[in-house]
Amino acid sequence: MLISGSIALVTGANRGLGREFATQLLARGATKVYATARRPSLVDIPGVEVLPLDVTDPASVAAAAEAATDVTLLVNNAGVSTGADLVGGDLELLRREMDTHYWGTLRMIRAFAPRLGGGAILNVLSALSWFAYPGAGGYAAAKAAAWNLTNGVRLELAAQKTLVTGLHLGAADTDMMAGYDGPKIAPSTVVAAALNGIEENRLEVPADDWSAQVKASLAADPSRFYTSV
């Protein structure tokens, strides 16, 4: 699939990776970019078509699908990180993460998939799809669910020739990761890798070395990985 000439919709486009996706899509020649956000007034990208969208609200998803009937590339980027642990964390926060990353992504796919024959879906996942870390238990579980959702949807949409790509990354230099002190990858690098991956018909895109290393570790005994992090 070519980015040039595509009509894209990006969720969570008011900041971070979502804003970078919308910007790069326009720069690569997308005919139209729907930039969506729960608070659309915060979207400040020249040249986009702004739509209100809350992926956790079925009515909001339905309204966006009705407004954007010409989409050929769906970028499921909207996310939330609450810091909730699985055992001692607030269940409402855990539900919020699952509702955003899993159910929200699935709502968007179900709403737009019938129009995406020959098009593409990009799900923004995480290296945490493949491992857990203290303080990110809820986030990791939700991203792991979204990873296998991505795999399942890919099989179900193969007959209509819709490319379904999963993007994995470690820490990006965004507002969501402002409290993280380790190395961070530039949002522009992440998004460029993702869009290149779509044009190369790749099913999975590890955007950085950390994601690639975590994925490679899955074939080994888990004790080797968890004693090294």
Residue-range domain boundaries for the chain: 7-226
User: What are the tens digits of pLDDT across the range 83-137?
Assistant: 999 999 999 999 999 999 999 999 999 999 999 999 999 999 999 999 998 889 9
The pLDDT of residue 180 is: 60
The pLDDT of residue 225 is: 87
Which parts of the chain are beta strand (E)?
Answer: 7-10, 32-37, 49-52, 73-76, 120-124, 163-168, 204-206
Q: Classify the C-alpha dihedral 95-97-103-107 as positive or negative.
A: positive
Tell me which of 86-100, 165-179, 188-202 is least confident.
165-179
Q: Top-level CATH class of 7-226?
A: alpha beta
Q: How many C-beta neighbours within 10 Å does residue 183 have?
A: 11
d(CA 30, CA 39): 23
d(CA 152, CA 128): 19
**Residue 179 pLDDT level (bands cut at 50, 70, 90):** low
User: What are the tens digits of pLDDT across the range 149-159?
Assistant: 999 999 999 99
Crossing angle for the helix pair 105-112 and 58-67, to the nearest 10 degrees = 30
pTM confidence score:
0.94
